[in-house]
Structure 1
């Protein structure tokens, strides 16, 4: 999607603005995330034990790993405001983790623009409805409402 004139944002509210590429969540990615976040729980890093002791049949990604992949997924869309100087992650209104992502699965992001509010001249608060879909699964890994603050250049 090309860059958008801020004046056109109201016309996009309620519309899907894009779907990202598929991203593989392999064991190496899970292990690196476990190391960086200091979360070495066996359900993430021990495939043999996770296969024996969990209902998942093997290891699963951390929920926060699935959430963190929203950043590269959003970059895939190419959605930006004309004249933007920077975008700031403002947080989430709500996140729900609905289904674990098993090691080796692929995920992608689906984004809908839910709201666009000009907080002051040149500053736009955007709220996206987001979901992280799992290839071959009916339920998404997560759903949420993501806020970003878009600041236009002077």
Structure 2
């Protein structure tokens, strides 16, 4: 786990700032996401059909499930100390190059792209997050995600 103070953060621009531990994507997690979002497409939830008919030979996680894990993965990879609050401010760019098969392990690798003072109370950091799939050549996610740090 990398720990960086808010004051030190600009010194890390252009640098790798963290890598999360591996996280398993279970079929139960995929099913729960399908239930929460109403997206029950067979490639996600019909295990037998996906094994026989899907191009991956297995059910796959929803791309938005994998994307939604960025905060959890990144928080286990790095922390910025000093802000009163950290707000998920959104994304600039997102690509989903590869599907995550049920049972796969994923992890995030984080690079700090930029840090910008918005005003005397807010700092906007832009990160490049890549979610790797263990044993696969292509990543599951490549995203430019934004964190707004609110000073105390």
Deviation at residue 9 of structure 1 after TM alignment: 2.4
1:100-134 deviation digits (Å, cap 9, x = unpaired): 00000000001000000011013100000011000
1:62-81 pair list within 5 angstroms: 62-81=62-81
1:10-25 pair list within 5 angstroms: 10-25=10-25
Is 1:139 equivalent to 2:138 in the alignment? yes
Distance 2:108 2:39 in 1: 24
The residue that corresponds to 1:4 in the other structure is: 5
The residue that corresponds to 1:88 in the other structure is: 87
Runs of 4+ in 1 over 2 A off after TM superposition: none
Distance 1:36 1:3 in 2: 34
Between 20-29 and 50-59, the greater mean CA deviation after superposition: 50-59
Judged with a 3 Å threshold, the aligned counterparts in structure 2 of structure 1 residues 5 and 92 are, in CA distance, closer, same or farther, namely closer
SS at match of 2:24: strand
The residue that corresponds to 1:125 in the other structure is: 124
TM-score normalised per structure 2: 0.95
Distance 2:87 2:47 in 1: 37
Unpaired runs of 5+ residues, structure 1, are none
Between Structure 1 and Structure 2, how many residues are aligned?
151
Distance 2:100 2:69 in 1: 12
SS at match of 2:84: strand
The residue that corresponds to 1:32 in the other structure is: 32
Distance 1:146 1:80 in 2: 15
SS at match of 1:80: strand
Aligned residues of 1:17 and 1:79 also touching (Cα < 8 A) = no
Unpaired runs of 5+ residues, structure 2, are none
